[in-house]
Amino acid sequence: MAQTVATTTGRKVTSTNPATGEVLGEFECASQEQVNEAVVRARAAQKVWRETSIPERIRVLRNFQRALYANKDEVAAQISLEAGKPQVEALLTEVVVVLDAARFYIQAAKSFLKLERVAHGNPALKTKRAYLLREPHGVIGIVSPWNYPFSIPACDVLSALVTGNAVVLKPSELTSLTALKLGELFHSAGLPADLFQVVIGDGSTGAALTQSPIDKLIFIGSVPTGKRIAMVAAERLLPVVLELGGKDPMIVLEDADLEVASSAAVWGAFMNAGQTCLSVERCYVQRKIYDRFVERCVEKTKLLSVGQGNNAETEVGPMISQQQLRIVESHVADAVSRGARVLIGGKRLSELGENFYAPTVMVDVVKGSRILSEETFGPVLPIVRFDIDEEAVALANDSEFGLAASVWTRDRARGESIASKIEAGTVMVNDVLTCFGTSEAPHGGVKSSGLGRTHGRLGLEEMVRTKYVDSDLLPSVPKVWWYGYGSEFQEQMRGFVDLLFSKSWGKRIVGAKKAMGALFRKGRV
C-alpha cells in the first residue's frame, strides 16, 4: 500500500461515489506537523535517490508502467467509481495518458539530464569550456484536483522522480482512494516508500503542504486558491507551477467540416461531464454555417446516454458534487435571464441521482453572461455566431483565461494564422483536448490560467535547477580584464569593442592592434 501519514487532527474527509452517494472511504486529515514529517522523510530519501543512476530510475518507471498496464482495468474502475466518469474515459484519458507519459520520460530522461555544452561566441572567452547541469530541486509538493485524479498527479510524479526528486502529494479530498492506488503502484514497482508519499486531507492539509519545507510546489486548481498559494510562496520565494483552469474557446470557420466539428464540440463540451480544464466552454461559429452547426450539435446531444460510469453504454456520467452542479445551474440561469435559449438539457436528471445534469446546448448567449466569462466546469455548450475572422479572435481573447483553444477549418494555413493570434498556452487546429494526452507537448496557460508548464521537455525543465559550470583552460594566465586600469587600458578596451562590433573592417583592424597591447600591459594587480 502507499505510504500515508499518521493523522491526529480530528478532521475527516470522505470519498463518495458521486453517482450513487455510496461512501467509499473515510480518512482523517494530516496536520501541519505530520505533513512536515513527511517532507523530512522525503528529503532524506531524496538524498539517496538523486545519487541513483538514471538507468536505475528508468527501471523503476518501467516497472511502474508494467504494473499499471497489468492493472489497467482495476485502476480505470477505481477512477470511475470515485470520480463518476465512464470507465472507458477513465481508461483512455487517465490510464493510457499515464502509460504514454511513462514511455516519454523513459525515453527522454537520459538526453535531458545529459551534460549540455555551452559554446562561447566572444573570442576573449574561447579558452573556457562550459556546460549546464540539471539538478533536482529536492522535494516537490503536488496539490492535485478531483477531475483527473490519476493522470494529473501521475504525470507530474513521473517527471519529478525521473529527474531525481522526491514527491509529497496532497490529492483532492474527493478522490483520496485513487491517489492511494497511484502510490501503491509506484511502491510495487520498487520505489522506496518515502520517495513518494500521499498526505490525505482537506484544504487545510493542502495549505500545510504549501507552508512545509518543500522545494517546489505544483498546484492544479482554482484561480482564487492559486493566487493565495502564490502569495504564501512569495514570502519565502518558493518556486511554483500553477495550472488554474480555463474557459477554452472553439472557433468554427465556414469552411470547416460540419460533421466533424459538431461531433468535436459535443465531445469536447460534455466529456467527463464537462469537468475538464480543456473543455469547450465557448463555441464561436461563423454565421454562414451557424444554424446547421447548432442543429447538428442538438441532434448529437440527444443521442448521448447519461448514467453511471460502470455501465459500458454510459457516455456522460454524474457531476462530482452538489456544489459543482449548483455552479452550472447558476451559470445557465444567469444566461437565460439575459435572453439566452436552452435548446436541449438545462436541468437536473434527478431520476438518475442527485449529481446528474443533462448535457445542455444554449444559443443567443450575450456578452457579460457568466457562462461566457467564468469557468463553468459542467456539461454546457454555449454557441455564439460571428462574422469575420478578426471578430472570432477578439471573442476568443475576451477572457481572463488563456489555457487552450481550437480552430476548425479545411484551410490549415488560415487555421494556423488564427491560432497565432489567440492568447492561449495551446491552440489546436482541427482537434480538441488531445493536447493533454500528447506526452511531448507542454501543458499550461497564460493570463489567469496560471504559471509554468507541465508535460514534455518544458515540464521536465520545471523539475530541475539549472547550474552553469565554467572551467578556464589556462589556469596560470591572469585575465586581461583584471585590475591594472588606466587611460592606456581604456583605449585598448575601446579598440577591443571596435574589433568585435564595428561595421567598418578598417576600424576592426585598428581596434585589434590596440587591443593586443592589453595582453602585454604593465602594472597589473
Question: What is the rounded CA–CA span in Å between residue 115 and residue 125?
Answer: 20
Catalytic site residue from 82, 94, 243, 374:
243
Question: What is the rounded CA–CA span in Å between residue 215 and residue 211?
Answer: 11
Question: What is the rounded CA–CA span in Å between residue 294 and residue 425?
Answer: 28
Compute the C-alpha angle 181/170/443, nearest 5°. 90
Given CA atoms 81, 83, 88, 94 in this order, what sign does their dihedral have? negative
139: which 3 cell numbers? 522535494
- 243 included as an active-site residue: yes
Compute the C-alpha angle 39/44/48, nearest 5°. 135
Closest listed residue to residue 198, CA positions, set 209, 190, 214, 213: 209
Alpha-carbon dihedral angle through residues 172, 176, 182, 184, given to the nearest 10 degrees: 150
Please give the C-alpha separations between residue 445 and each of 179, 423, 461, in angstroms, as whole numbers: 25, 9, 16
Cβ–Cβ < 8 Å for 262, 297: yes
Question: What is the rounded CA–CA span in Å between residue 130 and residue 259?
Answer: 55
Q: Which residues pair with 118 in a beta bridge?
A: 130
At 86, which helix (H) or strand (E)? none
Name residue, grid cell 460540419. Answer: 258
Classify each residue of 230-246 as buried b or exposed e, where b means 16 or more C-beta atoms within 10 Å of its C-beta.
Answer: beebeeeebbbbbbbbb
Catalytic site residue from 29, 89, 94, 277:
277
Radius of gyration of the chain (CA): 28
Surface-to-core class of residue 181, CB atoms within 10 Å of its CB (0-12 exposed, 13-18 middle, 19+ buried): buried
Cβ–Cβ < 8 Å for 402, 425: yes
- 155 included as an active-site residue: no
Classify each residue of 188-204 as buried b or exposed e, where b means 16 or more C-beta atoms within 10 Å of its C-beta.
Answer: bbebbebbbbbbbbbee
* Catalytic residue IDs: 243, 277
